[in-house]
């Protein structure tokens, strides 16, 4: 295998090609029909093929052309930010908005290089109070405020 | 005159207490997110969509529109005072605006930006009012073949005018179209790409897509860099311009307005492209181009007028053709569908109050914005001092609540996280996410029009080439592609976008 000289081209080519293959493979069971009577498989299959073709060209270019390296200084923000979002999603129904909001703010704050526990806890409590007032009472959105075991 | 009747109707709708209130709320929020770097109109509008459920459609659209053009005003404040684009369309304002601030002319730069934006916004409002009726009458004659070709043209134009690699952008569109197909097929009732997940049978929520790709990915990337901001907040005084400065700025404002109104109408156009084009023009025609980059007032006046005119003019393709020319307009399509209004040429006749009310509200919103941005500039300056470490958890929280409340469903929050990962990967691979969102919105529409056009022609693809309008649009799309591949054009385009990102 030749060396990857342009990782951004190569990587995006790989990504698009995989999406294209997935679209074709998963959609293989959808009836294609004819041009005059297009089945549900017609359009997605065409798109999958185009994506695969573009992906192949990009992979080729990734091997043949020179390009800048990928810069991934740290994976910490990615993991912490999205982890805390998932945590919020999992917590909001059983624990209610107040606790879920505090959890989200406190955990996501850790991703900053200027992180400070005391400050983030204060911010979390204030923000939780604000969103309950603004969203639950102000806008009347349907969100449980308190944990299920406390009684709502 | 018919135009005056229409505008009178529009103002009578926009001047009700409720609509004034929502216009104010929209532009206030727009200024806020415009000032704050790290959150743009796309996640904000996505976040507020669920809130607009409860509102009448006209108030909802007035508010959401206000966020978009309000953000253009706010973005300039940050560009001038912090040398950071608060909004992507203020990138070029950083160049000369920040230099003016460093020379103690921050107040003047802010004034000229706000006044230029106001003038441009007023003109663009009139441009919409004048151009929308004939265009939508024209669009009423479109059949499925024309619509399909128009969407091809719009998507290609969006790619050509965007920065970065052409091939990647086309792939992003196609990926967007594919993602848009997920869910129940309207014709056969078949579930496509749902993997047995019940929540996906209505399709992937476009709010989740927009929020993940634009909102979350941006926060993550911001946190990877240990940047430090320097804010010029001490000497924001002297808002008044001297007569000499006014004379220098005025022609630039006029040119910027014209450029923005013209480019905003184009598919793929909008605020950012207009601002950039205006800066290039000002630099080209200046007697002494070396002043640019060192605090030239035209370098602020032109692009700031252009981005505001461009952002408003980009409502024209949405309101007349039902085709969103950029990511924000794609969200407006979503907002209209939530209120069961099908965007397209029929809106103007079936819903004149909504149509003209929205247009009139834009002018009112612009008046409010001048007041918000000049006399009250001190408040926004204070806001710039809020450190990012406190800001981003709050943004995350609002985003999560917004996504959850869209369907009162945790599933959407998890989908947003998935698109956050995808958005981060795209940033790393230098793939622009905006074409994906456009494709995502247009996916189902494009499939449906392709299917109908081919059904009518009994499967003959020549239908796209034999109907003159459709052929014209396809030729235009092909020309755009050819032009961009030509080496000479390619070089200037690359240089142009390089300058922009510098």
With CB atoms and an 8 Å threshold, state whether A58 touches B417: no
Whether A57 is in a domain gets the answer yes
Pure H helices in B55-186? 57-82, 91-102, 106-139, 144-161, 166-181
Place of tokens 């400050």: A119
Whether A69 is in a domain gets the answer no
ipTM of predicted assembly, 2 dp: 0.91
Beta carbons of B411 and B207 less than 8 angstroms apart:
no
Whether A111 is in a domain gets the answer yes
Say yes or no: A87 contacts chain B, CB-CB below 8 A. no
Structure-token pair, residue B25: 């709320």
The 3 state secondary structure assigned to B402-418 is: HHHHHHCCHHHHHHHHH
Residue A2's pLDDT is what? 64
Residue B429 DSSP SS3: coil
Global pTM exceeds 0.80 = yes
Say yes or no: A98 contacts chain B, CB-CB below 8 A. no
Is residue A58 domain-shared with residue A28, that is, in the same domain? yes
With CB atoms and an 8 Å threshold, state whether B393 touches A74: no
Q: Bridge partners of B183?
A: B192
Residue B318 CA to chain centroid, in angstroms?
Answer: 11
Say yes or no: A10 contacts chain B, CB-CB below 8 A. no
Is residue A86 domain-shared with residue A39, that is, in the same domain? no
Mention every residue, 6+ apart, whose C-beta is less than 8 A from residue B163: B432, B497, B500, B501
* pLDDT surpasses 60 at A146: yes
Is residue A142 domain-shared with residue A80, that is, in the same domain? yes
Whether A15 is in a domain gets the answer yes
Q: Bridge partners of A33?
A: A38
Whether A71 is in a domain gets the answer no
Distance from the A2 Cα atom to the nearest Cα atom in chain B, whole angstroms: 20
Whether A70 is in a domain gets the answer no
Q: How many domains does chain A have?
A: 2
Is residue A59 domain-shared with residue A80, that is, in the same domain? no
Of B168, B175, B192, the CB nearest to A40: B192
Indicate the pLDDT class of residue A80, thresholds 50, 70 and 90: very high
A-chain CB neighbours of B447 within 8 Å are 43
Say yes or no: A66 contacts chain B, CB-CB below 8 A. no
Measure the CA–CA gap between A131 and A123, rounded to whole angstroms: 12
Pure H helices in chain A? 7-26, 42-64, 76-109, 117-131
Identify the DSSP state of B191.
Answer: E
* Cβ count within 10 A of residue B50: 21
Chain A CA closest to residue B431: A12
Residue A38's pLDDT is what? 84
With CB atoms and an 8 Å threshold, state whether B405 touches A44: no
A-chain CB neighbours of B428 within 8 Å are 8, 11, 70-72
Per-residue pLDDT tens listing for chain B (502 residues): 678 888 888 899 889 999 999 999 999 988 988 888 767 788 888 878 877 877 889 999 999 999 988 888 888 888 888 777 767 777 788 888 888 888 888 888 888 999 999 999 999 988 888 888 888 888 888 888 888 888 888 888 777 766 668 889 899 999 999 999 998 887 888 889 888 888 888 888 878 888 888 888 888 888 887 665 556 655 566 777 778 888 888 889 999 999 888 888 776 666 777 888 888 888 888 888 888 888 888 888 999 999 889 888 888 888 888 888 778 888 888 888 888 888 888 888 888 888 899 989 999 999 999 888 888 888 888 887 788 888 889 888 988 888 887 778 889 999 999 999 999 999 899 888 888 888 888 888 888 888 889 888 888 888 888 888 889 889 988 888 887 777 655 665 565 555 444 3
B-chain CB neighbours of A115 within 8 Å are 389
Residue B66's pLDDT is what? 92
With CB atoms and an 8 Å threshold, state whether A92 touches B410: yes
Beta carbons of B433 and B217 less than 8 angstroms apart:
yes
Measure the CA–CA gap between B489 and A49, rounded to whole angstroms: 29
Beta carbons of A93 and B413 less than 8 angstroms apart:
no
How large is the angle between the packed helices B271-285 and B91-102, nearest 10 degrees? 50
Is residue A136 domain-shared with residue A99, that is, in the same domain? yes
Structure-token pair, residue B290: 């070396």
Q: Which is more confidently placed, B180 or A150? A: B180
Chain A CA closest to residue B187: A40
* Residue B262 CB-density burial (10 A; 0-12 exposed, 13-18 middle, 19+ buried): middle
Q: How many domains does chain B have?
A: 1
Beta carbons of B500 and B177 less than 8 angstroms apart:
no
**pLDDT tens profile A6-64:** 888 999 999 999 999 999 999 888 888 888 888 888 899 999 999 999 999 999 998 88
Whether A2 is in a domain gets the answer no
Residue A85's pLDDT is what? 93
Q: Bridge partners of B192?
A: B183
**pLDDT tens profile A90-144:** 988 888 888 999 999 999 998 888 888 888 999 999 999 888 887 777 666 777 7
Query: Which helix (DSSP H) or strand (DSSP E) does residue B192 occupy?
Result: strand B191-192
Domain that holds residue A140: 76-150
Domain that holds residue B356: 2-501
| DSSP labels, B323-336 | --SSHHHHHHHHHH
Compute the count of residue pairs across chains A and B with CB atoms less than 8 Å apart.
187
What are the distances in angstroms from CA B286 to CA B247, B248, B296, B297? 14, 10, 10, 11
Beta carbons of B425 and A15 less than 8 angstroms apart:
yes
Is residue A19 domain-shared with residue A54, that is, in the same domain? yes
**Which residue, A21, A36, A64, sits at the end of a domain?**
A64
């Amino acid at each position: 295998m030749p060396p990857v000289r342009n990782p951004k081209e190569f990587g995006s080519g790989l990504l698009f090609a995989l999406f294209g293959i997935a679209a074709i493979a998963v959609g293989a069971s959808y009836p294609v029909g004819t041009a005059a009577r297009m089945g549900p498989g017609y359009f997605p299959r065409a798109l999958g093929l185009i994506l695969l073709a573009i992906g192949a060209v990009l992979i080729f270019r990734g091997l043949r052309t020179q390009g800048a390296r990928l810069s991934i200084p740290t994976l910490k923000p990615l993991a912490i930010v999205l982890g805390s979002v998932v945590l919020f999603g999992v917590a909001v129904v059983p624990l209610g908005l107040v606790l879920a909001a505090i959890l989200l703010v406190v955990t996501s704050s850790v991703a900053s290089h200027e992180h400070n526990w005391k400050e983030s806890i204060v911010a979390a409590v204030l923000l939780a109070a604000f969103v309950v007032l603004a969203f639950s009472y102000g806008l009347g959105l349907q969100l449980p405020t308190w944990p299920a075991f406390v009684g709502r | 005159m018919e135009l005056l009747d229409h505008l009178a109707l529009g103002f009578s709708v926009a001047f009700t207490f409720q609509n004034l209130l929502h216009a104010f709320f929209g532009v206030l929020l727009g200024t806020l997110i415009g000032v704050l770097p790290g959150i743009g109109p796309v996640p904000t509008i996505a976040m507020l969509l669920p809130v607009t459920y409860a509102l009448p459609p006209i108030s909802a659209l007035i508010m959401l529109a206000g966020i978009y053009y309000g953000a253009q005003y706010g973005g300039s404040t940050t560009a001038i005072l912090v040398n950071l684009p608060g909004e992507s369309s203020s990138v070029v304002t950083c160049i000369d605006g920040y230099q003016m601030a460093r020379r103690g002319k921050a107040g003047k730069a802010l004034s000229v930006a706000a006044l230029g934006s106001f003038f441009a916004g007023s003109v663009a409002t009139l441009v919409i009012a004048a151009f929308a009726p004939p265009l939508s009458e024209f669009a009423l004659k479109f059949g499925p073949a024309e619509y399909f070709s128009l969407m091809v043209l719009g998507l290609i134009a969006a790619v050509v005018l965007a920065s970065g690699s052409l091939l990647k952008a086309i792939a992003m569109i196609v990926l967007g179209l594919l993602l848009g197909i997920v869910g129940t097929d309207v014709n056969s009732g078949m579930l496509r790409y749902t993997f047995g997940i019940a929540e996906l049978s209505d399709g992937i929520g476009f709010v989740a897509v927009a929020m993940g790709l634009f909102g979350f990915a941006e926060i993550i990337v911001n946190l990877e860099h240990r940047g430090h901001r320097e804010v010029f907040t001490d000497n924001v005084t002297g808002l008044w311009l001297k007569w000499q400065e006014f004379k220098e700025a005025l022609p630039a404002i006029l040119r910027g307005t014209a450029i923005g109104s013209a480019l905003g109408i184009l598919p793929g156009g909008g605020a950012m492209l207009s601002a950039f084009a205006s800066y290039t023009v000002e630099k080209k025609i200046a007697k002494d181009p070396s002043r640019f980059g060192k605090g030239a007032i035209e370098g602020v006046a032109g692009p700031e007028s252009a981005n505001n005119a461009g952002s408003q003019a980009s409502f024209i393709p949405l309101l007349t053709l039902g085709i969103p020319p950029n990511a924000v307009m794609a969200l407006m399509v979503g907002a209209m569908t939530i209120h069961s209004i099908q965007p397209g040429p029929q809106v103007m006749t079936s819903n004149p109050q909504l149509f003209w009310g929205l247009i009139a509200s834009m002018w009112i919103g612009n008046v409010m914005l001048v007041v918000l941005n000049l006399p009250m500039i001190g408040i926004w300056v204070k806001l710039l001092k809020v450190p990012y470490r406190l800001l981003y958890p709050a943004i995350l929280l609002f985003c999560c609540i917004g996504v959850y409340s869209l369907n009162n469903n945790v599933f959407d929050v998890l989908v947003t996280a998935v698109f956050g990962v995808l958005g981060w990967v795209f940033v790393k691979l230098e793939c622009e996410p905006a074409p994906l969102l456009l494709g995502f919105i247009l996916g189902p529409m494009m499939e449906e029009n392709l299917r109908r056009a081919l059904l009518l022609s009994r499967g003959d693809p020549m239908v796209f080439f034999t109907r003159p309008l459709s052929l014209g649009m396809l030729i235009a799309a092909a020309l755009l592609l050819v032009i961009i591949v030509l080496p000479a054009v390619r070089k200037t385009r690359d240089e142009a976008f390089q300058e922009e990102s510098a």
